[in-house]
Chain A
Amino acid sequence: MIGGFLDYSPGDSFLHRLNPLAKIFLSLMLCVSCFVTDSLYFCLFMILLDLAMAAWAGISGRAMAMLEALVKLSALLFLIQVFFIREGNVILLLPMDIRVTDKGALFSLLMALRLIGATMPLALMLSITRMNDLSNVLVGTLGIPYKYAFSLTTAIRFIPVFTAAMAGIIEAQTARGVSFDTRNIFTKIGLIFPLCVPLLVTSVRKIEGAAISAELRGFNLRKRESGYKNYPIRAADIGVFLFAVTVAVLGVIVP
């Protein structure tokens, strides 16, 4: 699901046309604002903003799928947190002196919302940014050596590839009678854990193949000025930079 979300989604929306630097800066600032704020409402607003941006970019379906996955993860995080914070007034007392306090519940809810609000912007921006554009702008504008930029973008590109490889391995095991449908999380981990070995072998083979192919297409000959496209900073990009900073500042000052 997350892998599918990171696949590039073509389009011609305002967000698609932004300079990759502006997109990344915006997503980082949205992420930072979620971490610096102590307001539940502000976190909720940031999640709604993420969904609105996804709708604007025409990837609402992906955003909702991502949200669903993150809500499940956040629910788990909430449950782990809420039983360990013992400050505040008790609002629920369970056997074995397990208690839920008002402070603990609010803080755990804030952590859960932060996780959702901070994760969505980067995944959203990556799914509307070509990796080639991202690496070119990192090299051409920020001066990062191409090898590092390529490694970063390749790592991002390989996430859906490995997700698909894992799905393929699970399908093959299912066809041989292994049942992954169990609701017991420990049984499920026990079934999936041994699959890490074939996944590792597949991954290493794919990475080696990609490295050879890149070498055979002159990867080591690339220079900083080799990029074909130009990525000028336009008025819209400056507007997005200012908006991103404003949101981050709001994250600090909103009570």
Chain B
Amino acid sequence: MIRISGLSFRYRGGSEEALKEIDLTVRRGDFLGIIGSSGAGKTTLLHAINGIVPHHFRGEFYGSVEVDGSDTVENRPEDLARKVGSVRQDFESQMVSSVVEDEILFGLENFSVPRDDIEHRIADALDKTGIANLRERNIATLSGGQKQKVAIAAIIALMPEILILDEPTGELDPKSSRQIFRLLKELNEKHGITVVVVEQKIMLLCEFADSLAVMDRGRIILEGPVREVLKSSREMESAGVNCPRVVTLADRLREERLYDGPAPVSISEAEAMVRSITG
């Protein structure tokens, strides 16, 4: 679905490469989480997938990015957008309308979605994101979290094959963050939508993502199924990524030769791990 080969990119005027020799394959139906410290290249990588790099942000681009067989250099972002729905980190700037309903309608009208489908799509996107009561509200009067949900609803309504999201829970409280990730998981499992999400809340990624990519200074240093990646907690920490405490606990227990099982990714799994030791 997404094939990235030998991708390096340096922004015009940039002193060093934002992305360095990235190789990554995301299969149809995958749920990939990307994590890394600030400046690791996460947002640039997402921009390379939706075509913003190199079409909008120009620079030295080496390697290739293919989305469902289409080279992102040869296809314009608006053509790629038929398949790739993007929720940007700066969701405020994503807003192009003054009313919630119109914000969702914007993309649907642009892609000439049949009129008979539009009402259903708007209602469905609002329901899924839990903001049906905000439909007629002026966006300027919403809180940051509510605006973030509107930004996500506007993309979900387009029903893309691939959903890429840049820190979609940055302004959300823990409950709303879980709600958004549950929604992403539902879209992934029930509708087969491929999800690529950059997120700093590692516990959410551990719980909902199938695989994890850890970025550091423009490179992907770790990539694979979540539990496999979590085994390399020391490399993650050296890349500025805090491992979940349950993973750190499992590592310590391994060092003490008290535990040899898979890394737990939730509190309940950690509880089971401790019980297996204490009996």
Binding site for B on A (CB under 8 A): 7-10, 130-132, 154, 157, 160-161, 164, 205-206, 208-210, 212-223, 226-228
Interface locus among B86-94, B123-131, B227-235, B241-249: B86-94
Nearest A residue to B88 by beta-carbon distance?
A213
- CB-CB < 8 A to A213: which residues of B? 88, 93-96
State whether A215 touches B78 (Cβ < 8 A).
Answer: yes
In angstroms, Cα B98 to Cα A217, docked, is: 16
Most chain B CB atoms below 10 A, which of A154, A215, A222? A215
Whether the pair A218, B78 counts as a contact (CB closer than 8 A) is yes
**Which residues of A lie under 8 Å from residue B50 when comparing CB positions?**
216
**Inter-chain contacts of B97 with A (CB < 8 A):** 130-132, 157
Residue of B nearest to A160 (CB): B140
Q: Which residue of B lies closest to A227 (CB)?
A: B109
* Contact (Cβ within 8 A) A214 B138: no
Return A57 CB to nearest CB of chain B, in Å: 15
Our pick among A154, A216, A219, A226 for the contact of B112 (Cβ within 8 Å) is A226
User: Which of B26-34, B63-71, B99-107, B200-208 lies at the binding interface?
Assistant: B99-107
**Least Cβ–Cβ distance between A168 and chain B, in angstroms:** 12
Shortest distance between the CB of A208 and any CB in chain B (Å): 8
Taking a contact as CB atoms under 8 Å apart, the answer to whether B99 and A221 are in contact is no
Which of B78, B98, B109 is within 8 Å of A131, CB to CB?
B98
Q: Please indicate the chain A residues that have their CB under 8 angstroms from the CB of B56 in the complex.
A: 212, 215
Inter-chain contact B77/A228, CB cutoff 8 Å? no
State the CA gap A228–B136 with chains docked (Å): 16
Given contacts A160-B140, A216-B81, A217-B158, contact A226 B96 (CB under 8 A): no
Closest A residue to B89 by CB, please name it: A209
Most chain-A Cβ atoms within 10 A of its Cβ — which of B50, B81, B137? Answer: B81
Q: Smallest CB-CB separation from A229: which chain B residue?
A: B105
> How far does the alpha carbon of A218 sit from the alpha carbon of B81 in the complex, in Å?
7
B107 touches A218 (CB 8 A): yes
A-side contacts of B158, CB under 8 Å: 217
Q: Which residues of B contact A130 (CB under 8 A)?
A: 97-99, 102
A220 touches B76 (CB 8 A): yes
For window 102-121 of chain B, which residues contact chain A by CB distance below 8 Å? 102, 105-112, 115, 118
Contacts of B118 in A (CB 8 A): 228
Give the Cβ gap from B263 to chain A, nearest Cβ, in Å: 36
In the complex, what residue of chain A is closest to B140 when comparing beta carbons?
Answer: A7
**Mind listing 7 A-B residue pairs with CB under 8 Å?**
A130-B98, A130-B102, A131-B102, A206-B92, A208-B93, A217-B110, A228-B118
A residues less than 8 Å from B136 (CB atoms)? 10
CB < 8 Å neighbour of A157 from B78, B98, B105, B109: B98
- Number of B interface residues in the complex (CB < 8 A): 38
CB pair B88–A132 under 8 Å, yes or no, is: no
How many angstroms between the C-alpha atoms of A239 and B272 in the bound complex?
74
B154 at the interface (CB under 8 A from A): yes
Q: How far, in angstroms, from A223 to B111 measured CA to CA in the complex?
A: 9
- Do B138 and A7 have beta carbons less than 8 Å apart? yes
Asked if B52 CB lies within 8 Å of chain A CBs, one says yes
Q: Distance (Å) between the CB of B43 and the closest chain A CB? A: 12
Residues of B within 8 Å of A220, CB to CB, are: 76, 78
Q: Please give, as numbers and ranges, the residues of chain A lying within 8 Å of B137 by CB-CB distance.
A: 10
Residue of B nearest to A3 (CB): B140
Residues of B contacting A223 with CB < 8 Å?
112
Residues of B within 8 A of A218 (CB): 78, 81-82, 107, 110-111
Q: Which of B127-183 contact A (CB under 8 A)?
A: 136-138, 140-141, 154-155, 158
Cβ-closest chain B residue relative to A156: B98
Decide: A228 near B115, CB < 8 A? Known: A216-B86, A217-B106.
yes
Contact check, A132 vs B110: say whether CB atoms are below 8 A apart: no
> Given A219-B78, A228-B118, A132–B93 Cβ distance below 8 Å?
no
In whole Å, how far is B85's beta carbon from the nearest beta carbon of chain A? Answer: 8
On whether the beta carbons of B109 and A226 are closer than 8 Å, the reply is yes
19 additional A-B residue pairs with CB within 8 Å, beyond A132-B97, A218-B82, A228-B108: A8-B99, A10-B99, A10-B137, A130-B97, A130-B99, A131-B98, A154-B96, A164-B140, A210-B94, A213-B96, A214-B96, A214-B106, A215-B81, A217-B155, A218-B107, A223-B112, A226-B110, A228-B109, A228-B115
B88: which of A10, A209, A227 is its contact (CB, 8 Å)?
A: A209
Say how far B71's CB is from chain A's closest CB, in angstroms: 18
Name, among B106, B110, B154, the residue most crowded by chain A CB atoms within 10 Å (CB to CB).
B110
Smallest CB–CB gap between B29 and chain A, Å? Answer: 22
For A217, give its contact among B52, B90, B99, B154 (CB under 8 Å). B154
Q: Say how far A68's CB is from chain B's closest CB, in angstroms.
A: 21
